Amino acid sequence: MRCYCLQNGSVKKEKRRPFIESFEKIPLLTAATTFIGFHLILLMGYITSIIFTPKVAREKNRKGYVPLYDRFESFYSRYVYRRLRDCWNIPICSCPGSEVTLKDRVTHDCGWTFEYTGTRSTALNLGSYNYLGFAQAEGSCSEDSAVKIKELGCATASPRIEFGTQKIHQELEALTAKFVGMEDAITFGMGFATNALNLPSIVSKGCLVVSDEKNHASLILGLRLSGATIDVFKHNNMESLRQVLHSAVIKGQPRSHRPWKKILIVVEGVYSMEGSIVRLPEILELKRQYKAYLYVDEAHSIGAIGRNGRGVVDYFGVDPKEVDILMGTYTKSFGSAGGYIAGSKAFIDHMRVNSHANCYATSMSSSCAQQIISSMKIIMGMDGTNEGKKRINQLARNSRYFRRRLNQMGIITIGNNDSPVVPMMVYMHSKIASVVRRLKTNNIAVVGVGFPATPLMEGRIRFCLSAAHTKEQLDNALVHVEEAADFLGLRYSRKRRSKEPVHYSDSESEVE
Amino acid sequence: MVGKYIQIGERNCLNLGTNNYLGMIENPEIEKSALECLSHYGVGSCGPRGFYGTTEVHLDLEDKLAEYMKCEEAVVYSYGFSTIASAIPAYAKRSDVIFVDEMVNFAIQKGLDASRSQINYFKHNDMEDLERLLMEQADLDRKNPKKAKRTRRFLVAEGIYMNTGLMAPLPKLLELREKYKLRFFLDEAISFGTIGKTGHGLTEHFNIDPSEIDMISGSLENSIGSIGGFCVGSHFIIEHQRLSGLGYCFSASAPPLLMAAAITALDIMQRDPSIFQTLRDNSTFIHSQLSSQLPSDLRVHGHPESVIKHIRLANPSGDKVADEQLLNEIVDK
């Protein structure tokens, strides 16, 4: 139960939303068949490589040079990845909204080469990161962006610290800071670069970084470039985090045993491969106890979770200033490109001078900045409508409904009930490709992920829900997913399946 | 708009500070194509290249770049900085050796750090120093031939160095590359679209076949006036980045409107090669004027045809803080 003191002096009590996460373990038989299946693919690949010549590009005029690629890497990419290659890099010809037009292509030689058929097909888009449905070619956001292109051009050709700072960047930073509830913010042209180029300015040699094992590649790269010592804790596991912090504080630096210069905990708001939400209140408790700093990467959570779309701090109802550094990207919920870091004014002033991205990388395009400003104002309700609130509620409703319906079918979905990312476990490589291809013939575009992005035995189909999806579209998708589940055997869950209908509403008391 | 003139506070100044070499930022054709693309695709692409983030515009731009640079394939990144910073670690790993000029730009330095290879810096544009380092490495290889068979060797240079304005001696670098069996990556962030009769970069300037160079990387943020970067080379080399380039696989693809702007810029460059002559004339004119008219305590550095000119103190005092203060005063004035 949470209590709020309102301005008129009365007290409002609110029931705290339960934190429901599920990580059902893989059934033993499935684990065995996945393992055998993967090694069978490797064996078949090995035999194919001996009998047939691969249709790959060969190096010319480089005789006597050390081979450029590792043997296993080449083998994996030619004989494992290549078989399933048609499931990825599918070109699109329209805006990636709730529906997307795909450019059809076929392969006549098992994935070595592709040929465009000349036709296009429209599919329901469950693969793009369009959480609040701002990927629109029409509407006020696009119109505002068009005006800015005419006024300020496409780019500035200069880093921020030289001549790349325009008034729109300052407006964007002020608005972002207000949105996330921090004192100040700084923005960059690319989300990946925001992590990779700014972490080295935050931590350095002699600092300890405690990082979640499932952190994104950009965080890992940034931490490696910083030169700090990295300790990993089990995914979203607070006991593991506590042990790592405890040990770090007691033992200190490796050889000298001096205390660490600083300890930074790096986590994500919503993990895009697991669909889990970070346990923020517990981490804040540990942070206070061990006097560590906290960096939260809200790439997938900003705009997507929380009552007002303000990310994990809003979701848990904590004061944003308790988190030291909030980072996020504008690609997912705002339909634009770029990233930001928000924190105290002193910290952001330090970043303005010391950030590698600020000093050496080009500033954001004005059209992208305007798209973010327009969409952020809509989410905050500053445009005078309740469009933002409607979108946030629609997304929350879609996420919960979709996940519950899948669970009712007996399909294992992992992660938090409220996360807009719904990973459906299929485990086997062959099933990833089969589900993607089968759903594509039914005009549903989904994304399959497997090794090496996920652990070897944990192939999954990742659904990204959007506020732009309607109940009818989701129901249609669920019908085809159920068909695929029956055909391919995806009902792995051993939990009790309820036969009660799942209601499409905001109510918390829906039947499990 | 940050074009030929730039508004700073109340003053309208002639812009000699941004990387808008061909004046593409103010070009109305580019604005038109960006607006057309915006009305079709919206702003963001909402996904990485592997997950429905690849649009026809991205594929078109890659084909056009490959054709323009006379190479087999091109790969486009969404940010100029990430291009070379992701490309180098995609090929060079912990056990490899990289020979690189000491004055390379910051993005290359980050790429080298990320690769975790052994880095050997040679003195700026000093081919004898490079040859000395290569001979030392060859000696080490002779002592341990088993290790040598597994160690890849790379050579990284820039077409025009951002930090000095000088041009890399490409023919000599290629000679050394051939002799010591190195893989050569050339970063043409500045020289693409500015050097060469028709703006094809250093390979055109020195009349060299681009296939001699393993990979050429460039930026869409300088001459082209958009945002992003690209790498061109043979199929064998470039295909690898589509699975191993971190900035390509794990980042959202570039907004389609910026790609459309880049395509239009390339069309303009192909259609109207006279802009390169104008740029070259401007660069050489400024260079000659600065050389003759600067006061004696300032000197101009850089290749006459380079678009980047460095003005340095002729006799630096040795105290970095005092020198910087003096330079800041000159800039403010």
- Cβ within 8 Å, pair A155-B41: no
Q: What does the pLDDT read at residue A311? A: 93
Nearest chain B residue to A81 by CA distance is: B243
Nearest C-alpha of chain A: how many angstroms from B123? 23
A92 contacts on B by Cβ (under 8 Å):
52, 54-56
How many CB pairs below 8 A link A and B?
Answer: 251
- Contact of B146 with chain A, judged by CB distance below 8 Å, is answered with no
Q: Is B15 part of any domain? A: no
- Cβ within 8 Å, pair A91-B110: no
Q: What does the pLDDT read at residue A506? A: 59
- Contact of B56 with chain A, judged by CB distance below 8 Å, is answered with yes
Token pair, residue A85, equals: 């290659």
- Contact of B154 with chain A, judged by CB distance below 8 Å, is answered with no
Indicate whether B229 and B264 sit together in one domain: yes
pLDDT at residue A511 greater than cutoff 50: no
Measured CA to CA in angstroms, residue A82 lies from A39, A109, B47 at distances of 16, 10, 21
pLDDT tens figures, B288-298: 888 888 888 78
Q: Is B195 part of any domain? A: yes
- Contact of B183 with chain A, judged by CB distance below 8 Å, is answered with yes
Indicate whether B191 and B85 sit together in one domain: yes
Q: What does the pLDDT read at residue A14? A: 52
CA A493-A495-A497 angle, 5° bins:
95
Indicate whether B58 and B183 sit together in one domain: yes
- Cβ within 8 Å, pair A360-B235: no
pLDDT tens figures, B49-91: 999 999 999 999 999 999 999 999 999 999 999 999 999 999 9
Q: Indicate the pLDDT class of residue A510, thresholds 50, 70 and 90.
A: very low
- Cβ within 8 Å, pair A162-B3: no
- Cβ within 8 Å, pair B31-A92: no
- Cβ within 8 Å, pair A154-B221: no
Choosing from B271, B296, B311, the residue where a domain stops is B271
Name the residue among B192, B200, B267, B255 with its Cα closest to residue B222.
Answer: B192
Under 8 Å between Cβ of B253 and B49: yes
Nearest chain A residue to B248 by CA distance is: A192
Say which CATH number the domain at B58 has. Answer: 3.40.640.10
Tell the residue number behind the tokens 């500033």, with chain if given.
Answer: A363
Indicate whether B266 and B277 sit together in one domain: no
pLDDT tens figures, B95-125: 899 999 999 999 999 999 999 999 999 999 9
- Mutation for testing the B interface, residue in A154, A160, A355, A443 having most B CBs under 10 Å: A154
- Cβ within 8 Å, pair A190-B82: yes
Distance in angstroms (rounded) separating the CA atoms of residues A429 and A29? 16
Indicate whether B236 and B170 sit together in one domain: yes
Average pLDDT, integer, range A363-368 = 92
B17 contacts on A by Cβ (under 8 Å):
158, 162-163
Under 8 Å between Cβ of A422 and A413: yes
3-state secondary structure of B296: coil
Average pLDDT, integer, range A401-420 = 92
Indicate whether B300 and B326 sit together in one domain: yes
Distance in angstroms (rounded) separating the CA atoms of residues A326 and A182? 9
Nearest chain B residue to A78 by CA distance is: B240
- Cβ within 8 Å, pair A152-B1: yes
pLDDT at residue A481 greater than cutoff 50: yes
pLDDT tens figures, A291-306: 999 999 999 999 999 9
Across the beta sheet with A459-464, the strand order is: A421-427, A459-464, A447-449
Higher pLDDT, A485 or A6: A485
pLDDT tens figures, B160-170: 999 899 999 99
Of the spans A4-13, A450-459, B220-229, which averages the highest pLDDT?
Answer: B220-229
Q: Label residue B118 exposed, middle or buried (CB < 10 Å: 0-12, 13-18, 19+).
A: middle
A90 contacts on B by Cβ (under 8 Å):
52, 54
- Mutation for testing the A interface, residue in B21, B40, B52, B237 having most A CBs under 10 Å: B52
Q: Is B126 part of any domain? A: yes
Q: What does the pLDDT read at residue A508? A: 46
Under 8 Å between Cβ of A336 and A135: no
B106 contacts on A by Cβ (under 8 Å):
356, 359-360
Choosing from B224, B244, B271, the residue where a domain stops is B271
- Cβ within 8 Å, pair B51-A88: yes
Q: Is B24 part of any domain? A: no
Tell the residue number behind the tokens 């380092």, with chain if given.
Answer: B133
Q: What does the pLDDT read at residue A505? A: 72
Nearest C-alpha of chain B: how many angstroms from A482? 23
Percentage of the residues of chain A whose pLDDT score is greater than 70: 95
Token pair, residue A204, equals: 């350095």
Q: Which residue from B80, B183, B250 is facing A216, i.e. has the nearest CB?
A: B250
Q: Which residue from A89, A93, A217 is facing B246, i.e. has the nearest CB?
A: A217
pLDDT at residue A100 greater than cutoff 90: yes
Q: Chain centroid to CA A47: how far? A: 37
pLDDT at residue A15 greater than cutoff 60: no
Distance in angstroms (rounded) separating the CA atoms of residues B78 and B60? 15
Nearest C-alpha of chain B: how many angstroms from A207? 18
Percentage of the residues of chain A whose pLDDT score is greater than 90: 64
Average pLDDT, integer, range A37-42 = 89
Question: What value does the mean pLDDT of chain A take?
Answer: 89
Average pLDDT, integer, range A174-185 = 95
- Contact of B237 with chain A, judged by CB distance below 8 Å, is answered with yes
B28 Cβ contact partners less than 8 Å away, ≥ 6 residues apart: none
- Cβ within 8 Å, pair A337-B44: yes
Q: Is B13 part of any domain? A: no
Choosing from B218, B245, B271, the residue where a domain stops is B271
Q: What is the secondary structure of A348-389 as a DSSP string?
A: HHHHHHH-HHHHHSBPPPHHHHHHHHHHHHHHHTTTSSSHHH
Q: Is B118 part of any domain? A: yes
pLDDT at residue A509 greater than cutoff 50: no
Largest CA distance in chain A: 82
CA A79-A80-A82 angle, 5° bins:
70
Q: Is B2 part of any domain? A: no
The amino acid at residue B119 is I
- Cβ within 8 Å, pair A66-B55: no
- Name the B residues in 190-219 with CB < 8 Å from any A CB: 211
Q: Is B5 part of any domain? A: no
Residue B257 is part of which domain span? 30-271
pLDDT tens figures, B134-160: 999 999 999 998 888 889 999 999 999
Phi, psi of A378 (to 5 degrees): -65, -45
- Cβ within 8 Å, pair A330-B44: yes
Indicate whether B192 and B52 sit together in one domain: yes
Indicate whether B193 and B278 sit together in one domain: no
The total number of structural domains that make up chain B: 2
Nearest chain B residue to A103 by CA distance is: B56
Q: List Cβ<8 Å contacts ≥24 apart for B114-119.
A: B114/A221, B114/A224, B114/A225, B114/B85, B114/B86, B114/B88, B114/B89, B114/B246, B115/B88, B115/B89, B116/B89, B117/B92, B117/B93, B117/B154
Q: Which residue from B42, B51, B225 is facing A135, i.e. has the nearest CB?
A: B42
Higher pLDDT, A140 or A500: A140
Q: Which residue from B18, B72, B211 is facing A158, i.e. has the nearest CB?
A: B18
- Name the B residues in 104-143 with CB < 8 Å from any A CB: 105-107, 110, 113-114
Question: What value does the mean pLDDT of chain B take?
Answer: 90
- Cβ within 8 Å, pair B25-A130: no
- Cβ within 8 Å, pair B252-A88: no
Indicate whether B193 and B56 sit together in one domain: yes
Indicate whether B49 and B144 sit together in one domain: yes
Distance in angstroms (rounded) separating the CA atoms of residues B19 and A508? 55
Q: What does the pLDDT read at residue A500? A: 80
Q: What does the pLDDT read at residue A249? A: 92
Percentage of the residues of chain B whose pLDDT score is greater than 90: 61
Nearest chain B residue to A82 by CA distance is: B243
pLDDT tens figures, B193-224: 998 888 899 999 999 999 899 999 999 999 89
- Cβ within 8 Å, pair B2-A136: no
Q: Other C-beta atoms within 10 Å of B70: how many? A: 13
- Contact of B177 with chain A, judged by CB distance below 8 Å, is answered with no
Q: What does the pLDDT read at residue A492? A: 87
CA dihedral (A25, A28, A30, A36) in degrees, to 10, reads 130
- Cβ within 8 Å, pair A137-B79: no
Q: What does the pLDDT read at residue B291? A: 86
Under 8 Å between Cβ of A294 and A347: no
- Contact of B239 with chain A, judged by CB distance below 8 Å, is answered with yes
Nearest chain B residue to A449 by CA distance is: B51
Indicate whether B185 and B299 sit together in one domain: no
Indicate whether B84 and B187 sit together in one domain: yes
pLDDT tens figures, A229-265: 999 999 999 999 999 999 999 998 888 889 999 999 9
- Cβ within 8 Å, pair A360-B107: yes
A332 contacts on B by Cβ (under 8 Å):
46
Q: For the full predicted model, state whether its pTM sits above 0.80.
A: yes
Considering only A200-204, A254-258, B263-267, which range has the smallest mean pLDDT?
A254-258
What is the DSSP secondary structure assignment for residue A332, as one 8-state letter? S
- Contact of B39 with chain A, judged by CB distance below 8 Å, is answered with yes
- Contact of B163 with chain A, judged by CB distance below 8 Å, is answered with no
pLDDT at residue B20 greater than cutoff 90: no
Helix axes B256-271, B274-293, angle to 10 degrees: 90
- Cβ within 8 Å, pair A154-B261: yes
